[in-house]
């Protein structure tokens, strides 16, 4: 079994941002030489997430609006009593999850036609990273 680990780094321009990282993950997969296995993509911060969905702009805005309704910004979260101001970012991260596992078949992500991998940033404008681990044969 082969294992490859690489990291992607982000410094977003906005507090909340959704970045399609499918091509970067594909590049790591190709370099790994794995033909059959799986790939783990994991945000290494508790105010970010990784998810799989369509790359359609309206849907991305719908997801952002939905998350903001469920975990609104600028609310008096108890977490803010610690001096932090990102309570909503922690909750949004829980809603989209922090990692995905994707199947690899014949050296490619075994996805449906519209599936893409996204990095979701909820407390941005500083350096963050994502772990990409390829496992297989």
pTM strictly above 0.85: yes
> What is the distance between the alpha carbons of residues 137 and 2, in angstroms, rounded to a whole number?
6
Task: Report the top-level CATH class of 2-72+86-136.
Answer: mainly beta
Domain limits of the chain?
2-72+86-136
- pLDDT for 74 equals 85
User: pLDDT tens-digit profile of 81-97?
Assistant: 999 999 999 999 999 99
User: pLDDT tens-digit profile of 38-84?
Assistant: 999 999 999 999 999 999 999 999 999 999 999 999 889 999 999 99
């Amino acid at each position: 079994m082969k294992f490859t680990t690489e990291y992607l780094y982000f410094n977003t321009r906005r507090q909340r941002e959704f970045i399609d990282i499918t091509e970067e993950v594909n590049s790591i997969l190709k370099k790994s030489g794995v033909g059959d296995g799986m790939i783990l993509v994991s945000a290494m911060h508790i105010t970010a997430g990784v998810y799989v969905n369509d790359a359609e702009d309206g849907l991305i805005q719908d997801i952002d609006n939905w998350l903001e309704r469920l975990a609104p910004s600028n609310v008096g979260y108890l977490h803010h009593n610690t001096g932090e101001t990102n309570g909503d970012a922690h909750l949004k991260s829980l809603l989209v999850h922090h990692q995905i596992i994707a199947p690899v078949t014949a050296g490619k992500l075994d996805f449906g036609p519209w599936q893409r991998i996204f990095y979701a940033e909820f407390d941005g404008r500083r350096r963050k990273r994502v772990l990409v681990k390829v496992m297989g044969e």
